[in-house]
Amino acid sequence: MARLFGTDGVRGRANADLTPELAMAVAVAAARTLAESDRSHPPRAIVGRDPRASGEMLEAAVVAGLASAGANVVRVGVLPTPGVAYLVGEAKADLGVMLSASHNPMPDNGIKLFAAGGHKLPDEVEHKIEAAVAAGATWTRPTGSGIGRVHDLLDGAEHYVQHLVSTVPHRLDGLKVVVDCANGAASDVAPLAYAEAGAEVIAIHAEPDGLNINDGCGSTHLEPIKAAVLEHGAHLGIAHDGDADRCLAVTAGGAEVDGDEIMAILALAMRDSGALTADTLVATVMSNLGLRLAMSREGIRLVETKVGDRYVLEELRAAALALGGEQSGHIVMPAYATTGDGILTGLHLMSRMAATGRSLADLASAVTKLPQVLVNVPVGDRAAGASAAPVLAATAEAEAELGETGRVLLRPSGTEPLVRVMVEAATVETARSVAERIAARVREASPV
């Protein structure tokens, strides 16, 4: 059976790939899987969504599926993904369901599931849910009092904002920030949280209509927030994606600050306060070599994982570490959140600015990023394209040539017929030359 779950839940075009029938089947399978593992009480589920129009339809299907399988459901409405995860833990629920396709365009939607405590589902539970969906509706439905009940939680956003603000080590008074809410789930709570923490807030793209989420705005389209920061003379800009689990930033001068630079700023802040467990930061192999060099200079160890925030989360939990993330802006602080939280990240980034009196540009200068070139090579066979002898030989030759001044990362895409060739070097010309040389060997090894 093909995998139903990707690295971040179930995702596809709403009402085409991701139908109400599939959403209901996943909800039923999740509730039944949880009921089988703990028969002491009916499962309790928290259900939230981003503002996509299709979320209304899918929410109805998920809620019906959960209740039909005997789960009691609490709807929290439009809320960021990390807000749903937080409420799962706070309410001691057995399951969380978030309907969102994150930074994807509006026609897409997705189903993200959280286990008790607000953590991502273990692989073995995902496999059981997939098997139950594949088996179809061969189960005995509860009737009468066995059917789940459905309630609405009207102040879930308020609880989440209070939690976020309570984590801030230094108030944000005196800072002016532009926040791009991507017309998504952050549209109400992000401006409120930043203002409650003391910042002067100018919100843009905070008027979701169900159709405009991520449309030319948010963390995947930074030009509007760059212009707004300059127009308003703000100290910085914060850009979220559709479900607000990521955060990118813009300096007062309009320069981009990515997840690597944000991680460095937070790592140094936490190191100075004694909160950076084992003086260790977790990042993926896609993080710029400049981050590793910067952390090494500061005496901070960098642990690398495979690409995907679930692998960062696994490492953080396994080693009980305090900070990790991705270049894309998924930053995880386990002391305060069980998943990437863009608003939490923005608060702590600004807190460091307020505490030190330093500009974002100055703080971000801790990392000198090496030029990075990424070539996506279409292939007939991903494994062959990435592991053929001529490809490996070309990669080894390039690594020897670059030495400590650069690196090569070669990996097959997990979702597309591509091999990704990423090269970092002292100059963009060198990086491009080396990347194209390896890419040519990949094309020869596995033509389309």
Q: How far apart are CA 22 and CA 49, in angstroms?
A: 17
Q: Which of 102, 187, 351, 446 is catalytic?
A: 102
For tokens 């991903």, what's the residue?
A: 382
3-state secondary structure of 321: coil
Question: CB–CB of 52/213 below 8 Å?
Answer: yes
Pairing of strands 280-284, 324-325: parallel
Cα angle 5, 10, 12; round to 5: 130
Residues making up the binding site for Mg(2+): 102, 241, 243, 245
For residue 65, what are the contacts with CB-CB under 8 A and spacing of at least 6?
Answer: 23, 24, 25, 26, 27, 28, 31
Q: How far apart are CA 207 and CA 108, in angstroms?
A: 19
166 included as an active-site residue: no
In the numeric block, which tokens belong to residue 266?
């937070």
Q: Say how many C-beta atoms besides its own lie within 10 A of residue 154's C-beta.
A: 10
Per-residue H/E/C for 269-312 = HHHHHCCCHHHEEEEECCCCHHHHHHHHHCCCEEEEECCCHHHH
Q: How far apart are CA 370 and CA 427, in angstroms?
A: 7
Residues making up the binding site: 102, 241, 243, 245
Nearest one of 344, 273, 282 to 318, comparing CA atoms: 282
Question: CB–CB of 101/63 below 8 Å?
Answer: no
Q: Which active-site residues does the annotation give?
A: 102
